[in-house]
Structure 1
Amino acid sequence: MSADETRSLASSFASYGATLRGTVGLAYAPVGGARVVALGDWTGGVAWSTSKVPLAIAALRAAPEAAKSDVVQAITRSDNAAAERLWSMLGSPAVAAAAVAAVLGEAGDTGTRVQSRRVRPEYTAFGQTEWSTARQALFTAHLPCLEAGVEVLALMRTLDPGHRWGLARLAGAAAKGGWGPDAEGAHLVRQLGVVSNGSGWTAVVLGARPASGSFADGVALLDRLTEWVAAHLRRLPAGRCPR
């Protein structure tokens, strides 16, 4: 992708984002590639349930048969109890965090520190990991190329109906969302996904902090961001895993 095309997309997104009621961001990269482009004012935050993707991969590697049922529930329904069981399968919190971090590292994200303690007691430790849009897009770009990544991607294409928003509305897309409130109750809603543009696959990460702070408005913003992605999809860089 040329520098002029990158600037054109950035300008388009900035104009589009200015019409939305909230702080939004997006990052993209070709599958199998390392060049990430991040757009918008929202650049990252708490991972919430998007962290279940690398967690599922780590658990499938550690205990393929024992983890399978809980991986299905953690990805397709975003079931927290199932995800906690996967976390426990990996060992102590520190060992589990290291196993998930190793998955991120294989995908090129060596800078994200997987949280091993419950920062907020009512939420999972791994869900409170701080994950930037750029690093998450880099991970997502290599997700299809990882051992057990294809299995998790297949589940990301079969989400329960209540989770089919944002990128999951695009034909053939694999997506996983995450959401939750900050200490004041204002929600962050985010999502990672792999989408096809006809010539290859593109990793896309979306995030929004709605002005109202509500989860429903956050989902609506991700739906709007997905409309921008769909309109520009053939201009986004696409790739495939190295053979």
Structure 2
Amino acid sequence: MTIDRHRRVRTVLAALLGAVVLLTAACGAEPEIEPPQVTRTVPVIDPGAGGEVSIALPGSLAADFAELQQGFRGRAGLAIMPVGGEKMVTFGTWTSGPAWSTIKVPMAIAALRADNAYAATASAAITASDNGAADTLWASLGSGVDAAAAVQGVLREGGDDTTTVPSVRTRSDASIYGQSDWTLADQVRFAAQLPCVPQSQRVLDLMGQIVPSHRWGLGAFGSAEFKGGWGPDPSGKYLVRQFGLIDSPSGRIAIAFAAQPDSGAFADGMTMLDEMTTLLSGHLSELAGGRCA
């Protein structure tokens, strides 16, 4: 980049930061009300450079997540996408792992499509994460191959074109379906299309009725429709994850996040999700929401 281009970038940045100062000063007449802050990643375009420089302004979600992550003893990841949208944002160092009980969402959709007689079983599997009920739903879909294909088919309808659901047990101490490797990116993409998937509303309704003992993380949002999943790796260390939908001023937002604490303790992973939820709640006005077309 030439010296002149450097100067142009510095000029744009100075103007942006000056605008933030002016906006804050203009709101100073209402000291009892916290003024809104300009808190977003601003793309600074240098037309002659053939690219863009993204600056995470102080107070933005990106900057605040980076600060939060520095305090974590373990790995965490977060993915966000508007319902019905195509663009996602991701943060953190954790990106993929076993779905655990979060896979019960597409499984319940597949089972209820096949036979409405399993409505009560689906309710137990989603609202209380009952593993016995989930095993019944899986068995109702036929052989392992047929069940895997049915659940995978729902994922494909939701825009997840890559996740593979195993048809045979890969761990003796875990369910077949729960060991599906589900990335946060694929999970949030599925969540963003979930309300648009045919015959998904009954399961979404159940995701809004999660039992009180499981209403940590996204459960802090009163309107959330979500599902959690958690379990230990072979060494006994827990992964804790959730995905679902929350409201924002501009529509519904899909969220998928996960935590893998160094301690391996479930409670520590749950606390990390709680802290990420608190962070999200302070940035909802920045996030683009959406709805099904």
- In the superposition, the TM-score normalised over structure 1's length comes to 0.95
Letter in 1 for 2:118: A
Which 5+ residue runs of structure 1 have no aligned equivalent? none
Q: CA deviation at 1:54?
A: 0.5
Does residue 148 (structure 1) correspond to residue 199 (structure 2)? The answer is yes
User: Match for 1:175 among 214, 226, 239?
Assistant: 226
Q: Which has the larger radius of gyration?
A: 2
* Aligned match of 1:75: 126
Residue 105 of structure 1 corresponds to 156
Report the identity percentage. Answer: 48
* Pair 1:123–1:233, CA change in 2 (3 A): same
Q: Which residue pairs with 2:182 in the alignment?
A: 131
| 1:7/1:168 CA distance change after superposition, 3 Å | farther
Q: State the SS of the aligned residue for 2:150.
A: helix
Partner residue of 1:55?
107
Deviation string 1:97-138 (CA, Å, 9 cap, x unpaired) is 011111010111010001211111121100000000000000
Counterpart residue number, 1:4? 42
Residue 15 of structure 2 corresponds to none
Q: Secondary structure at the match of 2:151?
A: helix
Superposition map of 1:1-243 within 5 A: 4=42, 8=56, 9-64=61-116, 66-242=117-293
Shift of the 3–177 alpha-carbon distance from structure 1 to 2, 3 Å rule, reads: same
Tell me, yes or no, if the aligned pair for 2:250 and 2:288 is still in contact at 8 Å. no
Aligned mates of 1:199, 1:17 — CA distance in 2: 27
What is the aligned partner in structure 1 of residue 26 from structure 2?
Answer: none
- 2:199 & 2:118 partners in 1: Cα distance? 12
Q: Deviations over 1:190-233 (max 9, x none)?
A: 00010001220000001000121001111111101101111111
Shift of 1:82: 0.4
Mapped to 2, the partners of 1:173 and 1:234 lie a distance apart of: 16
Cα separation, 2, equivalents of 1:232 and 1:177: 22
For 2:178 and 2:237, the matched residues in 1 are separated by: 16
Q: Secondary structure at the match of 1:127?
A: helix
Aligned-residue offset at 1:7? 5.8
Question: Which runs of 5 or more structure 2 residues have no equivalent in the other structure?
Answer: 1-39, 44-53
Structure 1 range deviating more: 85-94 or 16-25: 16-25
What SS is found at the alignment partner of 1:33?
coil
Counterparts of 1:116 and 1:13, CA distance in 2? 37
- 2:237 is aligned with what amino acid? A
Alpha carbons of structure 1 residues 7 and 209: separation in structure 2 relative to 1, 3 Å: farther
RMSD over aligned Cα atoms:
1.4
Following TM superposition, the consecutive aligned residue runs of length 4 or more in structure 1 with deviations greater than 3 angstroms are 5-9
Return the alpha-carbon distance in structure 2 between the equivalents of residues 144 and 7 of structure 1: 33
Amino acid corresponding to residue 38 of structure 1 in structure 2: T
Rounded to whole Å, the distance in 1 between the matches of 2:108 and 2:87 is 25
For residue 237 of structure 1, report the CA deviation from its aligned partner: 1.7
The residue number in structure 1 matching 2:48 is none
Equivalent pairs, count? 240
- Superposition TM-score, scaled by structure 2 size: 0.79
SS in 2 for 1:4: strand
> 3-state DSSP class of the match of 2:104?
helix
SS of the residue 1:113 aligns to: coil
